[in-house]
Amino acid sequence: MLIVIPDVLDAEQLRDCRQALEQAQWEDGRKTAGYLAVQSKRNVQLPLNSPLSQKMGEFLLRVLDDNAQFIAAALPANILPPRFNRYEGGGEYGNHIDNAIFSVPGTGERLRTDVSSTLFFSEPDEYEGGELMIEDVYGQQSIKLPAGHLVVYPGTSLHRVNPVTAGTRYASFFWTQSMVRHAHQRSVLWELDQCIQSLAKQGAHTDELARLSGVYHNLLREWAQV
């Protein structure tokens, strides 16, 4: 299940983030790559322990906590603090699947990466290439979204970032451990939630909506791990 969530950031928030990223101090992205990924990763990232990375990560977590579509799509139990990267000058990240488990910085906790997310800070016409290519059950998907838009997809997906041949691509990426571990179950709950929301906007009968909402919550009760 691949879900695009538009306008996660408003214009003012986006402008502030871009200004901060353009003035940031970056380091080689291979520092956080695994044994195999380090051979195909060419980008730069904000250091995980930098004050800017931590400040922006905390800001994005607050934004996501208020975004109903993200909550419905990911059903988050825990979110790894967001990370930030920059691609330019032919930078790319070859085909890979994200690590299954990450340690939460500064804690003894570990997080399972059920859901991967990328938030774009650059407009599509600001750079050439740089598409996020994701393999899912419907084939290969090419993702290049407007600034402030977010894509959510299963952490089990094979994916890559195509070379950025001109301009600069700024983004944030992060992982979520979902209350519902399996992607196909999250997909069912997402579709059901969206139908409920649509019917509510159309003024559907209250009793019918209550019953349908009950189906959603009973499925969530059956599948959630909390």
Task: Express each pLDDT in 124-138 by its tens digit.
Answer: 999 999 999 999 877
- The average pLDDT across 36-58 equals 92
> How many Å apart are CA 1 and CA 187, to the nearest integer?
6
Give the pLDDT score at 138.
77
CA distance 119 to 141: 16
Cβ atoms of residues 104 and 80 within 8 Å: yes
- Looking at the fold, whether 202 and 140 belong to one and the same domain comes out as no
Chain-centre distance for alpha carbon 174: 5
Distance of CA 35 to the CA centre of its chain: 23
pLDDT confidence bin for 91, thresholds 50/70/90? very high
User: Do 76 and 58 fall into the same domain?
Assistant: yes
193 is in an annotated binding site: no
181 is in an annotated binding site: no
Residues 172 and 217 in one domain: no
Q: Mark whether 99 and 169 lie in a shared domain.
A: yes
pTM reported for the whole predicted model:
0.94
Q: Can you give the pLDDT at residue 203?
A: 79
Q: Is 96 annotated as a binding residue?
A: yes
Look up residue 86 and give its two tokens.
Answer: 């920059």
Total domains in the fold of the chain: 2
Does one domain contain both 80 and 111? Answer: yes
Strand partners, 78: 177
* 104 touches 110 (CB < 8 A): yes
Which of 178, 195, 214 is at the close of a domain? 178
CATH of the domain at 103: 2.60.120.620
Same domain, 97 and 151: yes
For the chain, what is the mean pLDDT? 95
The answer on 215 and 168 residing in a single domain is no
Residue 219 pLDDT > 80 = yes
The β-bridge relationship of strands 164-178 and 115-120 is antiparallel
**Cβ atoms < 10 Å from Cβ of 112:** 18
Is 184 annotated as belonging to a binding site? no
Torsion sign, CA atoms 212, 215, 216, 218: positive
Sheet hosting strand 139-143, strand order edge to edge = 41-42, 92-96, 159-161, 132-136, 139-143
Q: Domain residues for 158?
A: 3-178
Give the domain CATH number at 219.
Answer: 4.10.860.20
16-53 burial string, b = 16+ CB within 10 Å, else e?
Answer: ebbebbeebeeeebbebbeeebeeebbbbbbbbebeeb
